[in-house]
Amino acid sequence: MSIKSTLEKVISEDLAEIWSLLNSEEKRQITDNFEIHNFKKNQIIYAEKDNPVYLWCLLKGKVKLYKDGIGGRQQILRLYRPIQYFGYRAYFASEPYVSSAAAFEASTVGSLPMDVVKSMIDNNRDLAWFFIHELSKNLGGSDTKIVTLTQKHIRGRLAEALILLIDNYGFEDDGKTLKIYMAREDIANLSNMTTSNAIRTLSAFAQERIITVDGRRIKIVDEAKLRQISKFG
């Protein structure tokens, strides 16, 4: 995709929150520098230790931010949905990435050079506040995650992960089925447990009629119970 008018249309429709903060010169700056990329399922967008160059904007699909740990164990840190921005933290911290981003499913992602973003922030206080706000919310989330992942038991952690999936991606039209199709391994990586234990605990939840499981389709039957377990059970 490279035709200007198409790009501007896509961008103005999708950049939503940020777009409304910009004047026409800033909008031109974006359309001139914005590039659209397609990533296949499981394809890596950027990797830990890379140097940050772009602001990424997820336009379509699902993206996970994760960190590879000990013995190939992966921890999923955050999940993104359209329209959300990622990949800017490391640039702002003047350091290489400490985590990696990968497409969870086939995804369309826009990129904008961070030096363009930087100069725009210099001249647009609303944009500065946008990032201050995002970073602050994420930091609160990570601080909370430190405690829940280290202190809650397996059932609590899995319940919390399922709630996160509800909050992030919502339900199918039936209002019950999670709108994300995720491998057991990824559920495990989200909840800090082994794949075996994710499988086991999902089965237990199913037996207790909290959820139903049909392959990768997970239906939330008793969300209240799930929230209760998440608060420790």
Partner DNA sequence: TTACAATTATGCTTTAAAACATGCAAAATT
Partner DNA sequence: AATTTTGCATGTTTTAAAGCATAATTGTAA
Binding footprint of a copy of itself on the chain (CB under 8 A): 67, 69-70, 73, 75, 77, 89-90, 92-95, 98-99, 121-122, 125, 128-129, 131-133, 135-140, 142-152, 192, 232
| Residues 2, 27: Cα–Cα separation, whole Å | 16
| 27 neighbors 19 (Cβ within 8 angstroms) | yes
CA distances from 211 to 59, 89, 120, 151, 207 (A): 30, 36, 46, 24, 8
Question: What is the DSSP secondary structure assignment for residue 170, as one 8-state letter?
Answer: -
Question: What is the DSSP secondary structure assignment for residue 90, as one 8-state letter?
Answer: H
Nearest residue (CB) to DNA, 175 versus 215 = 215
Nearest alpha carbon to residue 198 among 190, 209, 206, 187: 187
Pick one of DNA, a copy of itself, none as the site partner of residue 194 (Cβ within 5 to 8 A by kind).
DNA
Nearest alpha carbon to residue 228 among 159, 147, 146: 159
195 interacts with DNA by CB under 7 A = yes
The number of residues that bind DNA (CB under 7 A) is 20
Contact window for DNA (CB under 7 A) among 32-40, 118-126, 210-218, 225-233: 210-218
209: left (phi over 0), alpha (psi -120 to 50) or beta: left
100 interacts with DNA by CB under 7 A = no
200 interacts with DNA by CB under 7 A = yes
95 interacts with DNA by CB under 7 A = no
The number of helices, as runs of H, and strands, as runs of E, in the chain is 10, 10
| 52 neighbors 97 (Cβ within 8 angstroms) | yes
Contact window for DNA (CB under 7 A) among 30-38, 92-100, 189-197, 221-229: 189-197
Nearest residue (CB) to DNA, 27 versus 225 = 225
Nearest residue (CB) to DNA, 55 versus 229 = 229
> Smallest distance from the beta carbon of 104 to DNA, in angstroms?
13
Chain position carrying tokens 């030096």: 115
> Smallest distance from the beta carbon of 226 to DNA, in angstroms?
16
Q: What is the per-residue binding string for DNA in 140-179, x denoting contact by CB under 7 A?
A: -------------xxx------------------------
Residues of this chain that bind DNA (CB under 7 A): 71, 153-155, 183-185, 192-197, 199-200, 202-203, 213, 215-216
